[in-house]
Chain A
Amino acid sequence: MTPITPALECRNLWKVYGDNAEERLKQYAPTNAKQAAECSTALSAEGGIIASGHINLQIQPGEFFVLMGLSGSGKSTLMRCMSRLTEPSAGELLLDGADFLSAKPKALRQIRRQKMGMVFQHFGLFPHMTVQDNVAYPLRVQGINPAERQRKAQEMIELVGLEGRENAYPHQLSGGQKQRVGIARSLAVDPELWFLDEPFSALDPLIRWQMQSELLRLQTLFHKTIIFVTHDFMEAVRLADRIAIMKDGQVVQVGTPQDIVLNPATDYVAEFVKEAPRTRIIKVDQLMQAAPAATTTTFNGQALSQDMTLEDALSWSAERAGELPVRDQNGQLIGVITPERLAMALGNTPGKATSNSDRQSAQPPAGVNS
């Protein structure tokens, strides 16, 4: 397999705030993790704030990459550095293998017009424009003629399911609808890199769930390179191909949701994992054992698919077992139970972060994956 150029790569990227913090950082010029840690300690002691420190990340084309962390962990700053809404203090940023930090304002503008889209936490909709004009705005700045941009905007509006609301103003929309406009606008120029900054945090849990599903649907259509910021571990787990967990401006762990759930790198990560619905994250292929060399069993034509979650696999297997008796202390039969019921109950217990209603819809219909 030939190595693929990452869509976006951060090499030793830093963002620091405070008097002289940037100059002091340049003097330290840390190159490896050890130096970085020393430099961070020194800068903090001088009153500087390390919003992002020594970030090394590679984001592959078509990857759904989630930056996850609590508020103040530096995830939003890191995303803003990646998109150059904020200029990083030091380090390298490569866009499709080319130096992105050296792009002059005009070139940067051109890159943004053609390659990037962004969705904001509080939507960032222009209050004085209709839905249509909001969505068409990125095309308008490029000087595309009105007919063409209206056509494209209409297409996007239909894509996010807002047809009929073209002439509404943002204040007339619900939160979910607003974010649909935000999504439509960010997709209007068909960007390669799609930044989403806590896009669903301001929404109600149920709407959030729907929007996540919607986002997954869009991603199966477009295969964008997505950089998604969230403070919600469940959301990260549900959406991400890979997650980077951040704390105090540092990346603590990077990996697939399964990696992280099975092998949390630090106690901090373990705290999140504890809350996570393991049964819905861990997949069969992580748990399976090697098949015996000479397998003669046919399994009666039945098989679990490789990417089935633990929960689905349990209930799938349980369906195939019969009822079991339940007895009291005296050995008296008081009822029967199926393993399926047990598995279902298991599926409903974990996770405090999502609300009950959310979990109801979170429950995929049994056997969907098989």
Chain B
Amino acid sequence: MAKPPTPPTARGTRRSLPPQALPWLGLLALALALPFFMSVLPWLKAWPVDWLLPLADWINAAMDALAPALKPTTRILSATLEWPMLALRDVLQWLPWPVLVLAVLLLAFHASGPKLAVICLLALLYIALSGYWRQAMNTLALVGIAVPLSLLLGLLIGIAAQRTKIGARLVPPALDVMQTMPTFAYLIPLLVLFGFGPVVGLIASAIYACPPMVRNVHLGLSRIPGEIKEAATFAGSSAWQKLFWVELPAAMTQIKVGINQTIMAALSMVIIASVIGGFDDIGWEVLSTMRKARFGESLLAGFVIVLLAVVIDRISAAYASKDSTQRTPLLAGRIGYCGGGLLLLCAAFKLSGFDPSITDPAWAKAVATWLDTRLEGIVVAYGNALTAIKNTLFYYYLLPLRIGFSQAILPFTWGFDFTQLMRWSYAIACGVLALGLSWRSGWRKGLLLAALAYLLYFGLTGMPWLVFGTAIILLAWQAGNLATAVFTGLALTFILVTGMWERAMLSIYLCGAAVILSFLLGSALGVWAATRERASAVIRPIADTFQTIPLFVFLIPVLMFFQIGEFTALLAIIAYAFVPAVRYTENGLRQVSPELLEVATEQGATPWQIFWQIKVPLALPTIMVGLNQTVMYAFAMLVIAALVGTTGLGQQVYLSLSAADTGAGLIAGLSMALLAMVTDRIMQTWARKRFAGMASTAH
């Protein structure tokens, strides 16, 4: 076994080390010593199976015991939900399509104006023409029932959180768990309780989608100025009058933001829940065609999802941002010409013998086949290039992160053997570099380099759990505070003793790999958008649209070009997670006060200096929020990416879903939520400490 890099010790630094550095030195010593004992004490490398807590079995046993008792209730609930859902589905199916198009058009008109109406018209025409009208309506029926449920639930919980002490205590942490819990994990216990069927997706969507509503209701109510509440009290309002006549309406602007987010979350979850199957909805269509590798069709169907999302989002967002005090009269005139236009359109369709209820229309089939052949052509023509991209990234980026140089460097991958001499040279070079760096620019940088070198040598999965866990807890303690460290310790212990450590490491590895690339890509685009108006004009709407697209759809394009596997998953995650980095970087850079820039220019700073010395430091708090969001998005997508082949916690959740294994699924899901929460906490407490007081200067 090779000797890993030597630590930057006090010997090499002239300045005395601060006390914070000491635990790190201890850890480094431990980290360097451990590899030599791993063969003697195997539990240092992997937590022994005998020491595992059979939590999954306990949960399953509890579920088995509870399920029969709960069955009658769930059956009633199931029936009460299924009935309106089926009814809505039938109504939507029965409704002649022009009626729905007209209704949507009027809504779009009322919400925003002719531009949105035209967008919606085109979107709906595509859906009608593509032959997926029926599936789209089925999805709409699910959303149509899930959304009101979710809104009601969110409203009640939000009010409770704002009004009651117990609510204020319980709700925020519960929301954290709910929002970081992988989507599939919601489905598993519901499946056990409700059995297979669309109702599970419905309930899961309603639950999954309510946190944004809760948050915004809570926020909206809390932000009402005290005087407005006092004015209501002083007028002699009863509690109900105050809530319904004053507080909720006054908070409506905020609540509408929540409504929009909840609708989009519900749509996303409805699509994801289609993995359960049985409702012939659009998500199922995409999934099944993808499984059959009929990418032409899945592209066409995926586009339906995108358009559905865009239409629903734009209309609800337009309502949300609309000044409710400006009442637009309900369109007496517009009904006229929208209706007239539609009549003409219908007549044209009638004459051409078009019926959207017919699935798989000939043209769509033709387009799908054409797409398929084109795709195949591309894959064949550029196969070598695609494989080269994939292999390069895989061998030189993913593998070292996952298993480290120690195992990744092989003649097969890198073209040479990692000889003993090289290992020693690597260790010594890194050690010297780390020492030099800590001497020149402080112990933190030296330590960072040493840690990175260690990580790259062993890889995330090859690292002893003790080293990794201790490092993270130390980080949580020093970057955050004691509470963060305790939380981190508990979370990691949970993952360790429930036997999820290895999978968690795989998840961290893939997530980390994706986050690094997403953030690089995203912030680069963000910088570009912040400096060039034209770039911003192009990037912004694309970023907005990417955020509204249900996660699922991102799988199609990557799967077309690269087969199932980790690399494909990586691309899918990046496609979703780079967006917040773009947005926040651009916003952060744009928020820097022009006055400060004038000062810098006046003092003769070059644009480059202004960028690095003024703009970036001032935008950093916002950019860090973007990084945090990128991490959260990556975690969210990681689970969906399990569909195209990952090996971490996401896969465990997905496997448990198909096996209806509540225990394993919940534990894997919870582990993932804990990882996301730990990352989030550390980053947030660090940012709060680091950027305290900067908000005032940044604006």
Write out the residue numbers on chain A whose beta carbons fall within 8 Å of the beta carbon of B234. Answer: 83, 85, 112, 116-118, 186
Interface pair B325/A125, CB less than 8 Å apart: no
Number of A residues near B (Cβ < 8 Å) is: 31
Interface pair B246/A126, CB less than 8 Å apart: yes
Interface string of B197-232 (1 = CB under 8 A from A): 000000000000000000000000000010110111
Within 8 A of B (CB), among A191-246: none
Q: Does A109 contact B (CB under 8 A)?
A: yes
Interface pair B236/A120, CB less than 8 Å apart: no
Write out the residue numbers on chain B whose beta carbons fall within 8 Å of the beta carbon of A126. Answer: 228, 231-232, 246, 249-250
Listed stretches A25-33, A134-142, A340-348; interface member = A134-142
Interface pair B325/A120, CB less than 8 Å apart: no
Most buried by A among B227, B230, B236: B236
Interface pair B325/A171, CB less than 8 Å apart: yes
Q: Can you name the residue of chain A whose Cβ is closest to the Cβ of B246?
A: A126
Tell me, rounded to whole Å, the shortest Cβ–Cβ distance linking A17 to chain B: 16
Interface pair A85/B233, CB less than 8 Å apart: yes
Given that A169-B325, A171-B325 are known contacts, is A125 also in contact with B228, CB under 8 Å in the complex? Answer: yes
Within 8 A of B (CB), among A109-136: 109-110, 112-114, 116-118, 120-129
Interface pair A121/B250, CB less than 8 Å apart: no
Write out the residue numbers on chain B whose beta carbons fall within 8 Å of the beta carbon of A117. Answer: 234
Write out the residue numbers on chain B whose beta carbons fall within 8 Å of the beta carbon of A109. Answer: 236-238
Tell me, rounded to whole Å, the shortest Cβ–Cβ distance linking B111 to chain A: 18
Q: Does A185 contact B (CB under 8 A)?
A: yes
Q: Can you name the residue of chain B whose Cβ is closest to the Cβ of A143?
A: B241
Given that A126-B249, A126-B250, A128-B252 are known contacts, is A120 also in contact with B231, CB under 8 Å in the complex? Answer: yes
Q: How far is B249's CA from A126's CA once the two chains are assembled, in angstroms?
A: 9
Q: How far is B40's CA from A167's CA once the two chains are assembled, in angstroms?
A: 83
Tell me, rounded to whole Å, the shortest Cβ–Cβ distance linking A235 to chain B: 20
Interface pair A185/B236, CB less than 8 Å apart: no
Interface pair B250/A127, CB less than 8 Å apart: yes
Write out the residue numbers on chain B whose beta carbons fall within 8 Å of the beta carbon of A189. Answer: 235
Q: Can you name the residue of chain B whose Cβ is closest to the Cβ of A133?
A: B245
Q: Can you name the residue of chain B whose Cβ is closest to the Cβ of A115?
A: B236
Q: Can you name the residue of chain B whose Cβ is closest to the Cβ of A197?
A: B227
Within 8 A of A (CB), among B163-219: none
Write out the residue numbers on chain B whose beta carbons fall within 8 Å of the beta carbon of A116. Answer: 234
Within 8 A of A (CB), among B502-534: none
Q: How far is B231's CA from A147's CA once the two chains are assembled, in angstroms?
A: 23
Interface pair A138/B245, CB less than 8 Å apart: no
Q: Can you name the residue of chain B whose Cβ is closest to the Cβ of A108?
A: B236
Interface string of B244-280 (1 = CB under 8 A from A): 0110011010000000000000000000000000000
Write out the residue numbers on chain B whose beta carbons fall within 8 Å of the beta carbon of A110. Answer: 236
Q: Does B324 contact A (CB under 8 A)?
A: yes
Tell me, rounded to whole Å, the shortest Cβ–Cβ distance linking B244 to chain A: 11
Interface pair B227/A120, CB less than 8 Å apart: yes
Q: How far is B228's CA from A185's CA once the two chains are assembled, in angstroms?
A: 12
Q: How far is B225's CA from A117's CA once the two chains are assembled, in angstroms?
A: 18
Q: Can you name the residue of chain A whose Cβ is closest to the Cβ of B224?
A: A127
Tell me, rounded to whole Å, the shortest Cβ–Cβ distance linking A341 to chain B: 47
Q: Can you name the residue of chain A whose Cβ is closest to the Cβ of B249?
A: A128
Interface pair A128/B325, CB less than 8 Å apart: yes
Given that A122-B225, A126-B246 are known contacts, is A141 also in contact with B231, CB under 8 Å in the complex? Answer: no
Given that A141-B241, A169-B325 are known contacts, is A112 also in contact with B249, CB under 8 Å in the complex? Answer: no
Given that A128-B249, A128-B252, A128-B324 are known contacts, is A120 also in contact with B235, CB under 8 Å in the complex? Answer: no
Interface pair A122/B235, CB less than 8 Å apart: no
Q: How far is B242's CA from A141's CA once the two chains are assembled, in angstroms?
A: 9
Q: Out of A113, A128, A142, A185, which one reaches B231, CB within 8 Å?
A: A185
Interface pair B250/A122, CB less than 8 Å apart: no
Tell me, rounded to whole Å, the shortest Cβ–Cβ distance linking A136 to chain B: 10
Q: How far is B234's CA from A114's CA once the two chains are assembled, in angstroms?
A: 10
Given that A169-B325, A171-B325 are known contacts, is A124 also in contact with B236, CB under 8 Å in the complex? Answer: no
Most buried by B among A83, A112, A137, A189: A137
Q: How far is B227's CA from A185's CA once the two chains are assembled, in angstroms?
A: 14
Tell me, rounded to whole Å, the shortest Cβ–Cβ distance linking A348 to chain B: 37
Interface pair A112/B252, CB less than 8 Å apart: no
Write out the residue numbers on chain A whose beta carbons fall within 8 Å of the beta carbon of B252. Answer: 128
Write out the residue numbers on chain A whose beta carbons fall within 8 Å of the beta carbon of B235. Answer: 112-113, 137-138, 141, 185, 189
Write out the residue numbers on chain B whose beta carbons fall within 8 Å of the beta carbon of A141. Answer: 235-238, 241, 245
Write out the residue numbers on chain A whose beta carbons fall within 8 Å of the beta carbon of B246. Answer: 126, 137
Q: Can you name the residue of chain A whose Cβ is closest to the Cβ of B247?
A: A126
Interface pair B230/A85, CB less than 8 Å apart: yes
Q: Can you name the residue of chain B whose Cβ is closest to the Cβ of A122?
A: B227
Q: How far is B235's CA from A118's CA once the two chains are assembled, in angstroms?
A: 8
Interface pair A112/B325, CB less than 8 Å apart: no
Most buried by A among B225, B228, B250, B325: B325
Write out the residue numbers on chain B whose beta carbons fall within 8 Å of the beta carbon of A114. Answer: 236
Interface pair A112/B231, CB less than 8 Å apart: no
Most buried by B among A110, A112, A171: A112
Given that A128-B249, A141-B241 are known contacts, is A113 also in contact with B236, CB under 8 Å in the complex? Answer: yes
Q: How far is B244's CA from A141's CA once the two chains are assembled, in angstroms?
A: 11
Write out the residue numbers on chain B whose beta carbons fall within 8 Å of the beta carbon of A121. Answer: 227
Interface pair B236/A142, CB less than 8 Å apart: yes
Write out the residue numbers on chain B whose beta carbons fall within 8 Å of the beta carbon of A83. Answer: 234
Interface pair B227/A123, CB less than 8 Å apart: yes
Q: Can you name the residue of chain B whose Cβ is closest to the Cβ of A121?
A: B227
Write out the residue numbers on chain A whose beta carbons fall within 8 Å of the beta carbon of B232. Answer: 126, 137
Q: How far is B65's CA from A129's CA once the two chains are assembled, in angstroms?
A: 54
Q: How far is B245's CA from A126's CA once the two chains are assembled, in angstroms?
A: 10
Interface pair A124/B231, CB less than 8 Å apart: yes
Within 8 A of B (CB), among A52-99: 83, 85
Q: How far is B234's CA from A142's CA once the two chains are assembled, in angstroms?
A: 12
Write out the residue numbers on chain A whose beta carbons fall within 8 Å of the beta carbon of B236. Answer: 109-110, 112-114, 138, 141-142
Given that A169-B325, A171-B325 are known contacts, is A124 also in contact with B230, CB under 8 Å in the complex? Answer: yes
Q: How far is B235's CA from A113's CA once the two chains are assembled, in angstroms?
A: 6
Q: Can you name the residue of chain B whose Cβ is closest to the Cβ of A170?
A: B325
Interface string of A169-197 (1 = CB under 8 A from B): 10110000000000001100100000000
Q: Can you name the residue of chain B whose Cβ is closest to the Cβ of A116?
A: B234
Given that A126-B250, A169-B325 are known contacts, is A118 also in contact with B241, CB under 8 Å in the complex? Answer: no
Tell me, rounded to whole Å, the shortest Cβ–Cβ distance linking A59 to chain B: 18
Tell me, rounded to whole Å, the shortest Cβ–Cβ distance linking A95 to chain B: 15
Q: Can you name the residue of chain B whose Cβ is closest to the Cβ of A86?
A: B230
Write out the residue numbers on chain B whose beta carbons fall within 8 Å of the beta carbon of A113. Answer: 235-236
Most buried by A among B235, B246, B324: B235
Most buried by A among B230, B234, B245: B234
Tell me, rounded to whole Å, the shortest Cβ–Cβ distance linking A142 to chain B: 7
Most buried by B among A116, A125, A128, A169: A128
Tell me, rounded to whole Å, the shortest Cβ–Cβ distance linking B240 to chain A: 10
Within 8 A of B (CB), among A142-172: 142, 169, 171-172
Write out the residue numbers on chain B whose beta carbons fall within 8 Å of the beta carbon of A129. Answer: 249
Tell me, rounded to whole Å, the shortest Cβ–Cβ distance linking B219 to chain A: 16
Write out the residue numbers on chain A whose beta carbons fall within 8 Å of the beta carbon of B241. Answer: 141
Q: How far is B246's CA from A95's CA once the two chains are assembled, in angstroms?
A: 28
Write out the residue numbers on chain B whose beta carbons fall within 8 Å of the beta carbon of A127. Answer: 228, 250, 325
Write out the residue numbers on chain A whose beta carbons fall within 8 Å of the beta carbon of B233. Answer: 85, 112
Give 17 A-B pairs besides A124-B231, A137-B245 with Cβ atoms closer than 8 angstroms.
A109-B238, A110-B236, A113-B235, A117-B234, A120-B227, A120-B230, A121-B227, A122-B225, A124-B227, A126-B249, A127-B228, A127-B250, A128-B324, A138-B235, A172-B325, A185-B231, A186-B234
Interface residues of A (CB under 8 A from B): 83, 85, 109-110, 112-114, 116-118, 120-129, 137-138, 140-142, 169, 171-172, 185-186, 189
Q: Enumerate the 4 nearest inter-chain pairs by beta-carbon distance, A residue then B residue, closest first.
A: A113-B236, A124-B227, A124-B231, A138-B235
Show 28 residue pairs from A and B whose CB-CB distance is below 8 angstroms, ordered by the A residue: A83-B234, A85-B234, A109-B236, A109-B237, A109-B238, A114-B236, A120-B227, A124-B227, A126-B231, A127-B228, A127-B250, A127-B325, A128-B250, A128-B324, A128-B325, A129-B249, A137-B232, A137-B235, A137-B245, A137-B246, A141-B235, A141-B236, A141-B237, A141-B238, A141-B241, A185-B231, A186-B234, A189-B235
